[in-house]
Amino acid sequence: MIDGRHHRQRILAEVGATGQQRLEQASVAIVGVGGLGSPVALYLAAAGVGRLGLVDDQRVELSNLNRQIIFEECDVGRPKVEAAAGRLRLIDAGIQLDARQENIRASNVAALFAEYDLVVDGSDAFETKFLLNDAAVLLRKPLVHGAVLQWGGQVTTVLPDGPCLRCLFRDPPEPADVQTCEEAGIIGAATGVVGSVQAEEALKLVLGVGTPLSGRIFQHDGLAGETRITTFPRDPDCPVCSSRARITDLSRYADQVAPRGHVLV
Protein backbone atom coordinates (compact mmCIF):
# COMPACT_ATOMS: atom_id res chain seq x y z
CA MET A 1 0.00 0.00 0.00
CA ILE A 2 1.26 3.49 -0.86
CA ASP A 3 2.14 5.36 2.34
CA GLY A 4 -0.50 7.95 3.20
CA ARG A 5 -3.05 6.74 0.63
CA HIS A 6 -5.93 6.85 3.10
CA HIS A 7 -4.58 9.51 5.46
CA ARG A 8 -7.40 12.01 4.86
CA GLN A 9 -10.04 9.52 5.95
CA ARG A 10 -8.01 7.79 8.65
CA ILE A 11 -7.87 11.06 10.59
CA LEU A 12 -11.67 11.05 10.80
CA ALA A 13 -12.91 10.05 14.24
CA GLU A 14 -15.30 7.57 12.60
CA VAL A 15 -12.50 5.79 10.74
CA GLY A 16 -9.04 5.76 12.33
CA ALA A 17 -6.72 2.78 12.10
CA THR A 18 -9.40 0.35 13.28
CA GLY A 19 -11.92 1.53 10.71
CA GLN A 20 -9.37 1.39 7.93
CA GLN A 21 -8.66 -2.20 8.85
CA ARG A 22 -12.38 -2.95 8.69
CA LEU A 23 -12.50 -1.50 5.21
CA GLU A 24 -9.53 -3.58 4.10
CA GLN A 25 -11.21 -6.74 5.40
CA ALA A 26 -14.63 -5.92 3.93
CA SER A 27 -16.23 -7.41 0.84
CA VAL A 28 -18.90 -5.62 -1.18
CA ALA A 29 -20.75 -6.84 -4.27
CA ILE A 30 -21.86 -4.24 -6.83
CA VAL A 31 -24.66 -5.46 -9.08
CA GLY A 32 -24.53 -3.46 -12.28
CA VAL A 33 -21.37 -1.63 -13.29
CA GLY A 34 -23.13 1.26 -15.01
CA GLY A 35 -24.14 4.80 -14.11
CA LEU A 36 -24.55 3.96 -10.42
CA GLY A 37 -22.02 1.15 -10.18
CA SER A 38 -19.27 3.36 -11.63
CA PRO A 39 -19.06 5.93 -8.78
CA VAL A 40 -19.78 3.23 -6.20
CA ALA A 41 -16.88 1.08 -7.40
CA LEU A 42 -14.48 4.01 -7.77
CA TYR A 43 -15.18 5.42 -4.31
CA LEU A 44 -15.13 2.07 -2.51
CA ALA A 45 -11.85 1.13 -4.17
CA ALA A 46 -10.35 4.52 -3.34
CA ALA A 47 -11.52 4.19 0.28
CA GLY A 48 -9.63 0.92 0.65
CA VAL A 49 -12.39 -1.69 0.62
CA GLY A 50 -10.38 -4.89 0.26
CA ARG A 51 -12.64 -6.93 -2.00
CA LEU A 52 -15.19 -5.89 -4.60
CA GLY A 53 -17.45 -8.15 -6.60
CA LEU A 54 -18.38 -6.63 -9.96
CA VAL A 55 -21.50 -8.25 -11.41
CA ASP A 56 -22.62 -7.34 -14.93
CA ASP A 57 -23.12 -9.30 -18.15
CA GLN A 58 -23.04 -6.35 -20.55
CA ARG A 59 -20.36 -4.82 -22.74
CA VAL A 60 -19.38 -1.16 -22.87
CA GLU A 61 -21.31 0.87 -25.44
CA LEU A 62 -20.52 4.36 -26.70
CA SER A 63 -23.82 5.65 -25.29
CA ASN A 64 -22.71 4.58 -21.79
CA LEU A 65 -19.89 7.11 -21.64
CA ASN A 66 -21.95 10.18 -20.66
CA ARG A 67 -22.55 8.70 -17.20
CA GLN A 68 -20.59 5.48 -16.69
CA ILE A 69 -17.42 7.29 -15.71
CA ILE A 70 -15.39 4.20 -14.95
CA PHE A 71 -15.07 3.58 -18.72
CA GLU A 72 -13.23 5.30 -21.58
CA GLU A 73 -13.64 5.25 -25.37
CA CYS A 74 -11.03 2.51 -25.68
CA ASP A 75 -13.28 0.25 -23.56
CA VAL A 76 -16.16 0.20 -26.04
CA GLY A 77 -16.95 -3.41 -26.88
CA ARG A 78 -15.19 -4.86 -23.82
CA PRO A 79 -17.07 -6.65 -21.02
CA LYS A 80 -17.93 -4.04 -18.41
CA VAL A 81 -16.58 -6.06 -15.51
CA GLU A 82 -13.25 -6.56 -17.29
CA ALA A 83 -12.86 -2.89 -18.19
CA ALA A 84 -13.94 -1.74 -14.72
CA ALA A 85 -11.54 -4.11 -12.99
CA GLY A 86 -8.68 -2.72 -15.05
CA ARG A 87 -9.55 0.84 -14.03
CA LEU A 88 -9.88 -0.04 -10.35
CA ARG A 89 -6.46 -1.71 -10.31
CA LEU A 90 -5.02 1.63 -11.41
CA ILE A 91 -6.46 3.11 -8.22
CA ASP A 92 -5.25 0.31 -5.93
CA ALA A 93 -3.14 -2.49 -7.33
CA GLY A 94 -3.70 -4.56 -4.18
CA ILE A 95 -7.49 -4.67 -4.30
CA GLN A 96 -9.14 -8.07 -4.76
CA LEU A 97 -11.59 -7.92 -7.66
CA ASP A 98 -14.09 -10.58 -8.64
CA ALA A 99 -15.14 -9.81 -12.21
CA ARG A 100 -18.38 -11.76 -12.61
CA GLN A 101 -19.69 -11.49 -16.17
CA GLU A 102 -23.17 -12.67 -15.39
CA ASN A 103 -26.64 -11.40 -14.64
CA ILE A 104 -28.21 -11.82 -11.22
CA ARG A 105 -31.04 -14.33 -11.19
CA ALA A 106 -32.88 -16.52 -8.71
CA SER A 107 -30.38 -19.35 -9.05
CA ASN A 108 -27.28 -17.32 -8.12
CA VAL A 109 -28.48 -14.44 -5.93
CA ALA A 110 -28.31 -16.39 -2.64
CA ALA A 111 -24.70 -17.39 -3.29
CA LEU A 112 -23.83 -13.77 -4.02
CA PHE A 113 -25.29 -12.51 -0.74
CA ALA A 114 -23.54 -15.31 1.15
CA GLU A 115 -20.16 -14.45 -0.33
CA TYR A 116 -20.10 -10.71 0.47
CA ASP A 117 -20.74 -8.57 3.53
CA LEU A 118 -23.26 -6.41 1.70
CA VAL A 119 -24.65 -5.76 -1.76
CA VAL A 120 -25.05 -2.45 -3.62
CA ASP A 121 -27.77 -2.36 -6.28
CA GLY A 122 -26.77 -0.51 -9.45
CA SER A 123 -28.95 -2.65 -11.72
CA ASP A 124 -31.10 -1.31 -14.53
CA ALA A 125 -34.23 -3.47 -14.36
CA PHE A 126 -37.13 -3.47 -11.88
CA GLU A 127 -37.22 -7.24 -11.72
CA THR A 128 -33.59 -7.34 -10.63
CA LYS A 129 -34.14 -4.65 -8.01
CA PHE A 130 -37.05 -6.51 -6.43
CA LEU A 131 -35.16 -9.80 -6.61
CA LEU A 132 -32.25 -8.20 -4.73
CA ASN A 133 -34.63 -6.69 -2.17
CA ASP A 134 -36.40 -9.98 -1.51
CA ALA A 135 -33.10 -11.87 -1.27
CA ALA A 136 -31.72 -9.30 1.17
CA VAL A 137 -34.75 -9.66 3.43
CA LEU A 138 -34.88 -13.46 3.27
CA LEU A 139 -31.12 -13.87 3.74
CA ARG A 140 -30.87 -11.05 6.30
CA LYS A 141 -28.06 -9.23 4.53
CA PRO A 142 -27.71 -5.46 3.96
CA LEU A 143 -28.64 -4.02 0.58
CA VAL A 144 -28.09 -0.46 -0.64
CA HIS A 145 -30.77 0.29 -3.25
CA GLY A 146 -30.39 3.05 -5.82
CA ALA A 147 -32.29 4.20 -8.88
CA VAL A 148 -31.97 7.19 -11.22
CA LEU A 149 -33.67 8.55 -14.34
CA GLN A 150 -33.45 11.87 -16.19
CA TRP A 151 -32.28 14.46 -13.60
CA GLY A 152 -32.95 12.63 -10.33
CA GLY A 153 -32.89 9.48 -8.32
CA GLN A 154 -33.25 7.81 -4.95
CA VAL A 155 -31.37 5.74 -2.37
CA THR A 156 -32.56 3.63 0.54
CA THR A 157 -30.85 0.94 2.59
CA VAL A 158 -32.49 -2.37 3.45
CA LEU A 159 -31.31 -3.83 6.75
CA PRO A 160 -32.42 -6.97 8.60
CA ASP A 161 -35.60 -6.20 10.57
CA GLY A 162 -35.99 -2.82 8.88
CA PRO A 163 -38.39 -1.61 6.18
CA CYS A 164 -37.68 -2.88 2.68
CA LEU A 165 -38.30 -1.69 -0.85
CA ARG A 166 -41.70 -3.40 -0.93
CA CYS A 167 -42.79 -1.29 2.05
CA LEU A 168 -42.51 1.64 -0.36
CA PHE A 169 -43.47 0.01 -3.64
CA ARG A 170 -45.47 -3.17 -3.23
CA ASP A 171 -44.71 -4.61 -6.68
CA PRO A 172 -42.60 -3.63 -9.67
CA PRO A 173 -44.48 -1.63 -12.29
CA GLU A 174 -45.41 -3.12 -15.62
CA PRO A 175 -42.70 -2.39 -18.22
CA ALA A 176 -45.24 -0.64 -20.45
CA ASP A 177 -46.06 1.82 -17.65
CA VAL A 178 -42.57 3.33 -17.31
CA GLN A 179 -40.12 4.92 -19.69
CA THR A 180 -36.74 3.35 -20.27
CA CYS A 181 -33.47 5.19 -20.00
CA GLU A 182 -33.28 5.13 -23.80
CA GLU A 183 -36.72 6.77 -24.02
CA ALA A 184 -36.55 9.26 -21.15
CA GLY A 185 -32.86 10.19 -21.20
CA ILE A 186 -30.48 10.74 -18.32
CA ILE A 187 -28.00 13.33 -17.07
CA GLY A 188 -24.73 11.71 -16.09
CA ALA A 189 -24.16 13.95 -13.07
CA ALA A 190 -27.39 12.65 -11.49
CA THR A 191 -25.96 9.14 -11.47
CA GLY A 192 -22.86 10.58 -9.80
CA VAL A 193 -24.93 12.10 -6.99
CA VAL A 194 -26.98 8.99 -6.36
CA GLY A 195 -24.06 6.58 -6.74
CA SER A 196 -21.96 8.65 -4.34
CA VAL A 197 -24.71 8.47 -1.71
CA GLN A 198 -24.81 4.69 -2.21
CA ALA A 199 -21.04 4.56 -1.68
CA GLU A 200 -21.42 6.57 1.54
CA GLU A 201 -24.08 4.16 2.75
CA ALA A 202 -21.84 1.16 2.03
CA LEU A 203 -18.92 2.75 3.87
CA LYS A 204 -21.10 3.57 6.91
CA LEU A 205 -22.32 -0.02 7.05
CA VAL A 206 -18.80 -1.44 6.87
CA LEU A 207 -17.51 0.99 9.49
CA GLY A 208 -20.59 0.68 11.71
CA VAL A 209 -20.95 4.46 12.00
CA GLY A 210 -23.57 7.10 11.33
CA THR A 211 -27.24 6.57 10.56
CA PRO A 212 -27.97 4.44 7.50
CA LEU A 213 -30.91 5.27 5.26
CA SER A 214 -32.95 2.43 6.73
CA GLY A 215 -36.61 3.39 6.82
CA ARG A 216 -35.68 6.58 4.99
CA ILE A 217 -35.42 7.36 1.30
CA PHE A 218 -33.03 9.95 -0.10
CA GLN A 219 -34.56 11.65 -3.14
CA HIS A 220 -32.63 13.96 -5.44
CA ASP A 221 -34.11 16.29 -8.06
CA GLY A 222 -31.23 17.90 -9.90
CA LEU A 223 -33.43 19.95 -12.21
CA ALA A 224 -35.15 21.67 -9.27
CA GLY A 225 -31.96 21.73 -7.20
CA GLU A 226 -33.73 19.93 -4.36
CA THR A 227 -32.89 16.99 -2.15
CA ARG A 228 -35.14 15.57 0.53
CA ILE A 229 -35.21 12.59 2.87
CA THR A 230 -38.57 11.00 3.61
CA THR A 231 -39.15 8.57 6.45
CA PHE A 232 -41.29 5.51 5.83
CA PRO A 233 -42.39 2.76 8.26
CA ARG A 234 -42.30 -0.96 7.93
CA ASP A 235 -45.52 -2.04 6.21
CA PRO A 236 -47.38 -4.44 8.56
CA ASP A 237 -48.71 -6.18 5.45
CA CYS A 238 -45.48 -6.16 3.44
CA PRO A 239 -45.40 -9.35 1.35
CA VAL A 240 -41.77 -10.08 2.19
CA CYS A 241 -40.64 -8.44 5.48
CA SER A 242 -43.78 -8.48 7.66
CA SER A 243 -45.17 -11.16 9.95
CA ARG A 244 -47.76 -11.75 7.22
CA ALA A 245 -45.14 -12.34 4.54
CA ARG A 246 -46.32 -14.25 1.51
CA ILE A 247 -42.95 -14.27 -0.21
CA THR A 248 -40.90 -16.82 1.67
CA ASP A 249 -38.55 -17.91 -1.11
CA LEU A 250 -37.45 -16.75 -4.56
CA SER A 251 -39.45 -19.23 -6.60
CA ARG A 252 -41.66 -16.44 -7.98
CA TYR A 253 -38.73 -15.23 -10.07
CA ALA A 254 -38.19 -16.89 -13.41
CA ASP A 255 -34.58 -17.99 -13.64
CA GLN A 256 -33.87 -15.86 -16.66
CA VAL A 257 -32.05 -12.67 -17.45
CA ALA A 258 -34.15 -9.63 -16.59
CA PRO A 259 -34.94 -7.28 -19.48
CA ARG A 260 -32.57 -4.35 -19.82
CA GLY A 261 -33.34 -0.70 -19.36
CA HIS A 262 -36.65 -0.74 -17.48
CA VAL A 263 -35.37 1.74 -14.95
CA LEU A 264 -32.24 3.72 -15.48
CA VAL A 265 -28.47 3.88 -15.72
The answer to whether residue 258 sits within a structural domain is no
The answer to whether residue 81 sits within a structural domain is yes
The answer to whether residue 263 sits within a structural domain is no
**What CATH code is carried by the domain that includes residue 15?**
3.40.50.720
Q: What is the pLDDT of residue 186?
A: 92
Percent of the chain with pLDDT over 70: 92
Residue 36 lies in domain:
7-231
Q: What is the pLDDT of residue 109?
A: 97
Q: What is the pLDDT of residue 257?
A: 47
Q: What is the mean pLDDT of the chain?
A: 93
Q: What is the pLDDT of residue 252?
A: 87
How far is 203 from 217, CA to CA, in rounded Å? Answer: 17
Look at residue 241 and tell me whether its pLDDT is greater than 60: yes
The answer to whether residue 254 sits within a structural domain is no
Look at residue 61 and tell me whether its pLDDT is greater than 60: yes
- What average pLDDT does this structure show over 37-51? 98
Q: What is the pLDDT of residue 2?
A: 46
Residue 132: partners with Cβ closer than 8 Å, 6 or more residues away: 31, 104, 109, 119, 121, 123, 143, 145
| CA dihedral sign, ordered 73, 79, 82, 88 | positive
Higher-pLDDT residue of 81, 183: 81
Q: What is the pLDDT of residue 182?
A: 74
The answer to whether residue 261 sits within a structural domain is no
Residue 254: partners with Cβ closer than 8 Å, 6 or more residues away: 106
The answer to whether residue 239 sits within a structural domain is no
Q: What is the pLDDT of residue 11?
A: 96
Q: What is the pLDDT of residue 173?
A: 78
* 137-167: pLDDT as tens digits: 999 999 999 999 999 999 999 999 999 999 9
- What average pLDDT does this structure show over 28-52? 98
Look at residue 180 and tell me whether its pLDDT is greater than 80: no
Residue 193, φ and ψ in degrees, nearest 5 = -65, -50
3-state secondary structure the chain: CCCCCCHHHHCCCCCHHHHHHHHHHCEEEEECCCCCHHHHHHHHHHHCCCEEEEECCCECCHHHHHCCCCCCHHHCCCEHHHHHHHHHHHHCCCCEEEEECCCCCCCCHHHHHHHCCEEEECCCCHHHHHHHHHHHHHHCCCEEEEEEEECEEEEEEECCCCCCHHHHCCCCCCHHHCCCHHHHCECHHHHHHHHHHHHHHHHHHHHCCCCCCCCEEEEEECCCCEEEEEECCCCCCCCCCCCCCCCCCCCCCCCCCCCCCCCCC
Domains in the chain, number: 1
* 80-101: pLDDT as tens digits: 999 999 999 999 999 999 999 9
Look at residue 265 and tell me whether its pLDDT is greater than 90: no
Q: What is the pLDDT of residue 256?
A: 53
